[in-house]
Each structure stands twice: as structure tokens, then as C-alpha cells.
């Protein structure tokens, strides 16, 4: 039986495993590595803080994630793939209340970013998600 996301080490495992999957993905890896040219040594600790803040209220993340995404050539399919990989990573490693919360937050973030970027309208949302 898998356990829930409970510690900072769990967040680190989630983030590291997720981005390993991203780096193997034919759709997402080029955006992260060739377009955004992500410095992984810098980006991963930022993502640990981001997810720790979201899941545990740690307030470790200080930043605004949205503006960094507006300059990227990303579309709905990129967000869809990101959500799929994130969800699969959680299901691969964890189960429980925090795991479900993390999946919900990832979907919500993707939806909000797409709406702010003009890629998604209220009519495009999943039923019950307005």
C-alpha cells in the first residue's frame, strides 16, 4: 500500500520524479529544455517550495509563476499533458488525501493558467468546475 504525501521529502520525491518524466516526454521536454532553457538546479528547489506551500501551507514559495509561462509557445495540449504526467506521477508514488489534493491543485493551476492565457474559456471547463 502506498502512503500519502506527508513530508518535505515526499514533496521532493514527487517533484523530482515528475520532472524526470517531463524530461522524457516528447511534447514537454522541448519546451522546458530548448525554449525555456530551464536551469534544473535552480528550478527544482523552487518547485519543492511551491508544492510545499500549496500542500502544507509552508509559505516557502515566494514568487509569481504565471508571468514566466506567458512567453512560452504552449497550448492546451501542453497543459493537458502536464496534468496527465503530474497525476500519473502522484498515482505512481502516493495515495491519500494530500495526494488527491495535489492532483486537484494541479488541474486547477492548469485551468487558471489556460484561462489567463486565453486558451480556455469558462465554456471549455469540465462540468462542475466553474
Q: What is the DSSP string of 15-76?
A: HHHHHHHHHH-TTHHHIIIIIS---HHHHHHHHHHHHHHHHH------S-HHHHHHTS---H
43 in a known ligand binding site: no
Q: Three cell numbers at 16?
A: 523530482
Say which residue the cell 506521477 belongs to.
89
* Residues making up the binding site for heme: 42
Numbered residues of the known binding site: 42
Amino acid at each position: 500500500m502506498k502512503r500519502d504525501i506527508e513530508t518535505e521529502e515526499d514533496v521532493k520525491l514527487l517533484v523530482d520524479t515528475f520532472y524526470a518524466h517531463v524530461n522524457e516526454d516528447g511534447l514537454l521536454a522541448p519546451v522546458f529544455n530548448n525554449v525555456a532553457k530551464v536551469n534544473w538546479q535552480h528550478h527544482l528547489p523552487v518547485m519543492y517550495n511551491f508544492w510545499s506551500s500549496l500542500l502544507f501551507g509552508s509559505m516557502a514559495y515566494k514568487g509569481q509563476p504565471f508571468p514566466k509561462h506567458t512567453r512560452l509557445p504552449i497550448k492546451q495540449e501542453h497543459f493537458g499533458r502536464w496534468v496527465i504526467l503530474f497525476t500519473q506521477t502522484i498515482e505512481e508514488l502516493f495515495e491519500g488525501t494530500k495526494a488527491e489534493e495535489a492532483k486537484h491543485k494541479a488541474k486547477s493551476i492548469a485551468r487558471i493558467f489556460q484561462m489567463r492565457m486565453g486558451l480556455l474559456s469558462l465554456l471549455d471547463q469540465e462540468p462542475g468546475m466553474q
